Amino acid sequence: MRLLKLEKDGKVSLADDLVENIPQYAILSHTWGKPDEEVTYKDLTASFGDSTQKPGYQKIKFCGEQATRDKLDYFWVDTCCIDKSSSAELSEAINCMFRWYRNASRCYVYLSDVQMKKRKAVNGSSESNWEPAFRSSRWFTRGWTLQELIAPISVEFFTSEGERLGDKLSLQQTLHEITGIAVTALQGYPLSQFSITERMSWAETRRTTREEDSAYSLLGIFNVQMALIYGEGQNRAFNRLREEIDKALHGNTATPS
């Protein structure tokens, strides 16, 4: 697992790849922009170029600065902590992703399409009006962010300016209304208490860029693992996912949780 550090000069650097004795860390949940706007592993390891000029660097720096405020030295961001040129590394990362989010000390949700707008209240004072944008945020439509909402104990939501809106506890009723996910699931109850059908329903309206990822993004929700075969198509990926779920239910692998 690769982690990032925010150096004293404000720049972000990669720490050594860690297998054991992983320190406490924060983790970022976000939606991707255009591929050429995101900071990649290659960008951070290249001896040329300036990744700080990419639009995606803003959310990485935000994560590092927020982690520092929360007294965490390390943080993780998927865009640049996974070497996606390695199919083996990508497969391992996707199969471990739910656990990485679950084990994070804090998860920061960066909502690039939500701003802290102000409006005049009836009494003439100023009040925030972010909830409509929050409810319609693209973050709630993406396949990968489902596990990023459910897995971590601590999930905090921030606007694109870095303003904190609340956390999974304070916003649980709103999150339930937006996603249809049971409040008890948001509170951390074991996922094995929810039926396969109910858990599948949480992903019905979510989409992924690559069709197979609509199945792969649910591995952690059902506590199963399987090889990634990009190009197999959505139907085949879901068939293999259901096979792994069935094996787990019948005791051939660990019981889903």
pLDDT (tens digit per residue) in 99-122: 999 999 999 999 999 998 765 555
For 208-251, the pLDDT digits (tens) are: 999 999 999 999 999 999 999 999 999 999 999 999 999 998 87
Q: Are residues 180 and 196 in the same domain?
A: no
pLDDT value, residue 122: 56
Q: Are residues 85 and 199 in the same domain?
A: no
Q: Are residues 78 and 160 in the same domain?
A: yes
Neighbours of 195 (CB within 10 A): 9
Residue 100 in tokens: 């990485």
Q: Are residues 151 and 241 in the same domain?
A: no
Q: Are residues 55 and 168 in the same domain?
A: yes
Q: Are residues 123 and 53 in the same domain?
A: yes
Pairing status of strand 12-14 against strand 25-29:
unpaired
Among 137, 167, 187, the domain-final residue is 187
Q: Are residues 79 and 159 in the same domain?
A: yes
The Cα angle at residue 173 between residues 172 and 179, in degrees rounded to 5: 85
Q: Exposed, middle or buried, 183 (CB in 10 Å: 0-12/13-18/19+)?
A: exposed
Judge whether residue 252 has pLDDT over 90.
Answer: no
Q: Exposed, middle or buried, 14 (CB in 10 Å: 0-12/13-18/19+)?
A: middle
Q: Are residues 131 and 233 in the same domain?
A: no
Q: Are residues 207 and 174 in the same domain?
A: no
Cβ pair 256, 192 in contact under 8 A:
yes
Distances 72 to 16, 25, 98, 114, 175 between C-alpha atoms, Å: 16, 6, 20, 25, 27
Q: Are residues 107 and 168 in the same domain?
A: yes
The boundaries of the domain holding residue 181 are 4-187
Q: Are residues 237 and 179 in the same domain?
A: no
List, in sequence order, every beta strand (DSSP E) within 48-170: 74-76, 106-110, 118-120, 126-128, 155-158, 164-167
Beta bridge partners of 233: none
> pLDDT-derived band of residue 84, with 50, 70 and 90 as boundaries?
very high
Q: Are residues 160 and 257 in the same domain?
A: no
Pairing status of strand 25-29 against strand 74-76:
parallel
Give the DSSP letter of residue 142: B
Nearest Cα to Cα of residue 211 among 237, 185, 245: 237
Judge whether residue 7 has pLDDT over 90.
Answer: no
Among 147, 166, 187, the domain-final residue is 187
Among 187, 205, 224, the domain-final residue is 187
Number of domains in the chain: 2
> pLDDT-derived band of residue 257, with 50, 70 and 90 as boundaries?
very low
For 156-179, the pLDDT digits (tens) are: 999 999 999 999 999 999 999 999
- The pTM (predicted TM-score) of the whole model is 0.91
